[in-house]
Amino acid sequence: MPSIDELMATCPLKQHIRKNLWETYILKLAKKPIKYLTLYSPPLIDVKHFAREGYINLSDKMEYSGVVGVTLPGDNERAHARAISEGKGRLRLLKTGYIHELITNGDKELTEQFPFDVINLDYCNHIFGDINTDDLSDNLQDIEQIIKCQAKKNIPQFVIFITTRTDKHSSANNTGFAQTFIDALGNKIQRNIDLDAGFKNKYHEIFNNLTVQQVHTQRYTDFISVGIVKLVLMGLTDKGYYIDDLDISFLKRDDHQPTRELLHLALSVSRYTGHQGQTLRQYGRVSYSEKGSTIVLDKVKNNKIVFLSESADKTELERIYGNYLKDLSEDTFEIRTPKPVSES
């Protein structure tokens, strides 16, 4: 039976996200080919798709130049074998482990590859702040370390895609976000309301006078969207970056049990080059560091968050992307042989 990663890779809804969310943000860079850091999971559809679209270069030596894949620890041999088998060529670099561990352990092979133009952290089967783990999420630590490495190399602009499961907290089923994580997100939003008048006004304009707690219970996806953006923003501003644009899509996987909802976040990130303090010119304007928060609230306000679900959209998207995805998955370095129409 295919893994969740595999199901998601060839899912037409996911292709819709690749085409309409991710590609839109890669286009903002106006750069071809890109340097791309991805979480490798079979069958390497994102790399192959971006290669076909010309964003990734497959060299004459059959190497996806500038593409680095990191696969999570597990069955390393098989994962490695699949990473090779499913591509048209080899990735520039393939590592196994959590990105943050590789970086903090001084993995030169990986750190030397920074900076990247596009970073795709598609933790499609993971959840930040999992109820079952007391420690800080590995995924969040990855984001922190990646931003650190990007900043170290002083890259002026890059794009980051973040995907996480957003299951509702359920202590009965022991699934979803840990309550402490939800509380932390709530506190983060509350603190912003308390300290930033602009944010506060916008928040009340959208959510009327609902408290943060009420937004969590009554408008869950909005709460998660704002909270996660704030969380990422924290890591970015710390290193002198801000979000100059962002988009959000939710993908509901309701064809399979248990039902899962995935948040897909696309962030265009720029380095803050101006004076750190508030200048007269900026007076009364949204500070750079808060720009991301304002954008996410605007998206909520204007209903610009995209919702896709297998039950509602899969048939139509299958019609659009089905053949392309099939072709893409079969397109490996191996000579393609025709499929027989019958056998006896």
Partner 1 sequence: MEIPIYVSARILRHISRGIYRTPAGALKELISNAYDAGATKITINTGYPAFEKITITDTGKGMDLDEFEKIIGNIGLSSKVAGTVFNLPDSNVARTTIGHYGIGILAIGQLCSKAKITSKNTGSLEGFEATIDFEQFEIEDKDGITRSKIKDEKIIEEADSKAEKDNKLPIGKCKIKHLKYSDKDKDTHFTKVELEQVRDVIHQKLSGAFHETYKTPPPKVPKKYSANFEQLLKLFREYEDDIKRGQYPYEKLCWELAMYSPLKYPSLNVFDSNLAPFKALANSHNFEVVVDGMKIHKPFEKGFFEDKEYPVREFFVWKDEEYYKDKKVSGYLIYRQRIRPKCMQGILVREAGVAIGMYDLTFLEYPYHEATKFEQLTGELFVEGLSGALNIDRNSFNETDDSYLGLVKWFHDKLHNEVFRGIKRDQTAKRENALESFTKLNNQYSKMFKDGYSIAFKDLGKEKTLFHKEGKVLYINKNHPQGKPAKSAIDTLFLASFLVVSDIVSSRKMEEILNNIAEVKNK
The residue ranges that bind partner 1 (CB under 8 A) are 59-63, 77-78, 80-81, 84-85, 87-95, 109, 332-335, 337-338, 340-344
Nearest approach, Cβ of residue 107 and partner 1 (Å): 11
Nearest approach, Cβ of residue 76 and partner 1 (Å): 8
Q: Are 158 and 243 in contact (CB under 8 A)?
A: no
Q: Are 45 and 83 in contact (CB under 8 A)?
A: no
Give the residues across from 260 on adjacent strands: 253
CA separation for the pair 184, 190 (Å, rounded): 10
Give whichever of 93 and 206 is closer to partner 1, judged by the CB atom: 93
Nearest approach, Cβ of residue 10 and partner 1 (Å): 20
Give whichever of 59 and 179 is closer to partner 1, judged by the CB atom: 59
3-state secondary structure of 253: strand
CA separation for the pair 228, 232 (Å, rounded): 6
CA separation for the pair 14, 243 (Å, rounded): 24
Give whichever of 52 and 88 is closer to partner 1, judged by the CB atom: 88
Give whichever of 96 and 225 is closer to partner 1, judged by the CB atom: 96
Q: Tokens for 26, please give them.
A: 């890669």
Nearest approach, Cβ of residue 102 and partner 1 (Å): 13
Type of residue at 103: I
- Residue 17: Cβ-neighbour burial (10 angstroms; 0-12, 13-18, 19+): buried
List phi, psi (to 5°) of 291: -55, -40
Nearest approach, Cβ of residue 146 and partner 1 (Å): 19
Nearest approach, Cβ of residue 25 and partner 1 (Å): 26
Give whichever of 106 and 258 is closer to partner 1, judged by the CB atom: 106
Report the Cα–Cα distance between both ends of the chain, in Å, rounded.
Answer: 26
Label residues 196-216 b or e (16+ Cβ within 10 Å = b): bebbeebbeebbeebebeebb
Nearest approach, Cβ of residue 341 and partner 1 (Å): 5
Give whichever of 81 and 234 is closer to partner 1, judged by the CB atom: 81
CA separation for the pair 79, 94 (Å, rounded): 10
Give whichever of 78 and 326 is closer to partner 1, judged by the CB atom: 78
